[in-house]
């Protein structure tokens, strides 16, 4: 199995950047590693011109990130599995993202890597355009925000351990702006805990909605809403 680890899709989310540096210094057999957005990493910012993870699928690339997304398109296709590392400032928010039609092996990998939640991304991002790519979101200061932790995980990748467990599958629903948050005085939101009926109605939503990335300064909105689908 050929595996690619991506860090620095967002240049200010350091886990993947540190992990790629470690894998380049001290490689693990069968695992390649690249920095997705080196210019943003050097500047220590999320992106330079356009958010790289919103720059996939653009017909006529103009920004540096849109051109870089085209380069990554052909690199990513050379691998069986791609693990794309991100950070969030929201505590207890560890989860994975996949595309709607992702390879089923990604669910097994998510289980094996110890995750409880997988979210289908429906907006333009690396997961939507690459069925082999699992994006990994780790809360900063979590025990999993650690290069040595992920090196140990990567060394055991594919050994089939813990595949018997199940995970909660959600789908991206919408984003909540800071203005909506302040106007409606939403309170006590916690990652993956379903909104009450009142908050769901205020937002004009329906179904089992839960918030993630609550108040994280890494994202330009107050929270992301996800909708529960099923256990897989």
> Residue numbers of the site for Zn ion (CB under 5 A)?
10, 13, 86
Minimal distance, residue 86 CB to Zn ion, in Å? 3
Minimal distance, residue 201 CB to Zn ion, in Å? 30
- Closer by beta carbon to Zn ion, 54 or else 171: 54
- Closer by beta carbon to Zn ion, 127 or else 168: 127
Q: Nearest residue by C-beta to Zn ion? A: 86
| DSSP, residue by residue, the chain | --EEEEE-SSTT-HHHHHHHHHHHHS--TTEEEEES-HHHHHHTSS-SSS-GGG-TT-SS--SHHHHHHHHHHHHHTT-SEEEEEEEESSTT--EEEEETT--THHHHHHHHTT-SEEEEE-SSSHHHH-TTEEEEEEETTSTTS-HHHHHHHHHTTTS-TTTTS--EEEEEEEEE-HHHHHHHT-----TTPPPPHHHHHHTT--SSEEEESTT-TTSSSSEEEEEEEEE-
Minimal distance, residue 12 CB to Zn ion, in Å? 9
- Closer by beta carbon to Zn ion, 192 or else 213: 213
Minimal distance, residue 162 CB to Zn ion, in Å? 25
Minimal distance, residue 163 CB to Zn ion, in Å? 27
């Amino acid at each position: 199995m050929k595996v690619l680890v991506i860090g620095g899709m967002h240049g200010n989310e350091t886990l993947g950047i540190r992990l790629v540096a470690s894998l380049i210094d001290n490689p693990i057999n069968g695992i390649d590693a690249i920095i997705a957005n080196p210019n943003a990493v050097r500047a220590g910012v999320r992106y330079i011109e356009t958010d790289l993870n919103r720059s996939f699928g653009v017909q006529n690339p103009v920004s540096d990130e849109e051109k870089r997304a085209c380069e990554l398109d052909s690199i990513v296709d050379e691998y069986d599995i791609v693990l794309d590392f991100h950070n969030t400032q929201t505590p207890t928010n560890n989860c994975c993202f996949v595309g709607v039609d992702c390879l089923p092996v990604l669910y097994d990998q998510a289980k094996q890597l110890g995750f409880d939640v997988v979210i289908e991304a429906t907006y333009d991002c690396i997961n939507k355009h690459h069925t082999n790519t699992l994006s990994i979101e780790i809360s900063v200061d979590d025990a999993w925000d650690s290069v040595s932790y992920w090196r140990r995980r990567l060394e055991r990748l594919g050994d089939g351990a813990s595949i018997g467990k199940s995970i909660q599958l959600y789908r991206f629903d919408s984003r909540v702006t800071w203005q909506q948050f302040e106007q409606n005085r939403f309170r006590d939101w916690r990652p993956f805990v379903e909104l009450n009926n009142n908050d769901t109605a205020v937002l004009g939503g329906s179904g089992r909605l839960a918030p993630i990335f609550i108040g994280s300064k890494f994202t330009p909105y107050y929270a992301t809403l996800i909708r529960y689908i099923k256990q897989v």
